[in-house]
Structure 1
Amino acid sequence: MQRIPDAIQLTDLDTGALADLYAYPGEQERGWVRVNFVSSIDGAVTGSGGVSAALGTPADKQVFHLLRELAEVVLVGAGTVRAENYGGAQTDPRLRRDLHARGIGGHPDGAPPPIAIVTASAALDPDHRVIATARTPTLILTTAAAPAERVRALTDAGAEVIVIGDEVIDPRAVPDALAARGLRRVLCEGGPQLFGSLAGAGVVDELCLTTAPLLIGGAARRISVSHEEFGVRMTPAHVLFDSEGTILTRWVRA
């Protein structure tokens, strides 16, 4: 039987020790897909206003930013980009260089990770801040069926468009397309439909789940949504507690 890891107090960890707990494994040919979500105690993925930010706590924000520092690319669905008003990733160049030197993530030049947006129809405003504020060009993962004028507008705005399907995007092709560009340490930030499709396709290696000390009720969705049920057994890697009641867990595919 898998032993549940001992709980660790977040306040007992400095940035280096926390980074060690969330370190990516060594280089792999396909890469490593990590998913990060926050939910309420009763399973809601959004709070007031229908956005995940309403569930955020200081501990969740601390880990959220660290996971971006470790990642080589941030993967997200177009719907989440619009709902959460995404911008380009803002990271610490010195920390990213240090993490890379330690072999656990980051970037050799300290550059921030690109935001990679999944949208089969390239349905994204080329003036959106996720493109306009990006220090590393935004990636658009789309299909050959996406309207040419949309693709052209996104390219003209500075995004890099990557075609990985004819009419639909096979979730199994997503990490391969990123790995082909040297982006193997993947951080997926949702939304629930993208997470569900990746998990159902068997390409999610890890889930970092924050449980905020809130009961939400209502009709909010779960962190994963899919057309079919899937069963992916996960193993607990660590459990962190914050003094305000936030619980941060890391689950790795068994």
Structure 2
Amino acid sequence: MRILTTGPAEPARDTSDVTDAELAEIYRYPADRAWLRVNFVSSVDGAAQGPDGRSGTISGRPDRHVLALLRALCDVILVGAGTARAERYGPATIRPAFTALREKLGLAPTPPIAVVSHSLDLPDGLLADPRTVVITARASSPERRAALEDRVDVAIAGESEVDVTEAVAALTDRGYRRILSEGGPSLFAELLAGSLVDEVCLTQSPELLAGPAMRITHGPLLAEPTRLTLASLLEEDGFVFQRWLTGSHHETPG
């Protein structure tokens, strides 16, 4: 992997391969505040899904490596139930190469998954970890909630529908300040509409797909476009790794 730029103040430069330690420094979370990072992969023509409806089919080895690092750096992984079902989520694992990094950061061996769901139709694999946080609305099925509460952590956020602002607050109240959201596109759009996203990490996969696939955001048009500032740009085997800061964040975290 090579660095193309680490922001507008630094020109592109040729480097030797970036080490995992250097990569962790580039993607480090801020130490003094909660931070919500969103991570997606898309094709060059903007498809966030492969022909099978899964993002994994447009991923590749470099993208999976960066995703593994981002998971190693976070306190919790936030995901919508539709994505959790489509991508067959289970409890998160950490690559052995990043075990020492989590230990250095004082984090648990693996991050829990927080899943947003109104229907409470969840993959059984996620329910195997009692640390899983199920975030739902008060109007969801009381019977299903009660059954889940015996197995995992259930948080109420919103009345008739899940309120994403309350959902994020529920995570920070539990001490999860370094949040990694892995989608899907509808959840991302809601988080943007609520001005809750601090950073967008986008992997551009070196392929064109056409077809009907969704973009990385899917929802009503935002009242105002979310302005982004480029924080870093990396490349490996044709995969381009973009890191963008939102709103008033004009400096990289740290």
Shared fold per TM-score greater than 0.5: yes
Alignment of 1:119-138 (within 5 A): 119-124=117-122, 128-132=124-128, 134=129, 137-138=131-132
* Alignment: residue pair count: 240
Percentage of identical aligned residues: 39
Once the two structures are TM-superposed, the CA of residue 88 in structure 1 deviates from its matched residue by: 0.6
CA contact 1:5–1:237 (8 Å) conserved in 2: no
Matches of 1:44 and 1:10, distance apart in 2: 30
CA 1:237–1:140 in 2, change beyond 3 Å: closer, same or farther?
same
Matches of 2:215 and 2:132, distance apart in 1: 27
CA contact 1:40–1:215 (8 Å) conserved in 2: yes
Alignment of 1:74-153 (within 5 A): 74-92=77-95, 95-96=98-99, 98-99=101-102, 101=104, 106=105, 108=106, 110-124=108-122, 128-132=124-128, 134=129, 137-153=131-147
Q: What do residues 16-67 of structure 1 show as CA deviations (whole Å, max 9, x unaligned)?
A: 1100000001131xx1110000000000000121100011111100000000
CA contact 2:157–2:164 (8 Å) conserved in 1: no
Q: What do residues 130-156 of structure 1 show as CA deviations (whole Å, max 9, x unaligned)?
A: 222x3x621100111111111122223
CA-based RMSD of the aligned residues comes to 2.1
CA 1:9–1:124 in 2, change beyond 3 Å: closer, same or farther?
farther
Alignment of 1:30-69 (within 5 A): 31-69=34-72
Matched with 2:31 is 26
Once the two structures are TM-superposed, the CA of residue 93 in structure 1 deviates from its matched residue by: 7.3
Matches of 1:8 and 1:62, distance apart in 2: 22
Once the two structures are TM-superposed, the CA of residue 110 in structure 1 deviates from its matched residue by: 3.6
Matches of 1:110 and 1:9, distance apart in 2: 36
Query: What TM-score do you get using the length of structure 1 for normalisation?
Result: 0.88
CA contact 1:45–1:220 (8 Å) conserved in 2: yes
CA 1:73–1:9 in 2, change beyond 3 Å: closer, same or farther?
farther
Matches of 1:170 and 1:10, distance apart in 2: 44
Matches of 1:225 and 1:86, distance apart in 2: 21
Matched with 2:250 is none
Counterpart of 1:64 in structure 2: which amino acid? L
CA contact 2:102–2:109 (8 Å) conserved in 1: no
SS in 2 for 1:235: strand
- State whether structure 2 residue 197 is matched by structure 1 residue 197: no
Counterpart of 2:147 in structure 1: which amino acid? A
CA contact 2:102–2:108 (8 Å) conserved in 1: no
CA 1:15–1:8 in 2, change beyond 3 Å: closer, same or farther?
farther
- State whether structure 2 residue 211 is matched by structure 1 residue 231: no
CA contact 2:68–2:95 (8 Å) conserved in 1: no
- Identify unmatched segments of 5+ residues in structure 1: none
Matches of 2:11 and 2:126, distance apart in 1: 39
Matches of 2:51 and 2:9, distance apart in 1: 33
Matched with 1:72 is 75
CA contact 1:9–1:241 (8 Å) conserved in 2: no
Query: What TM-score do you get using the length of structure 2 for normalisation?
Result: 0.88
Matched with 1:15 is 20
CA contact 1:121–1:143 (8 Å) conserved in 2: no
SS in 1 for 2:52: helix
Once the two structures are TM-superposed, the CA of residue 113 in structure 1 deviates from its matched residue by: 0.7
Q: What do residues 55-113 of structure 1 show as CA deviations (whole Å, max 9, x unaligned)?
A: 11111000000000000000000000111110110015784553463xxxx5x254211
Matched with 1:168 is 161
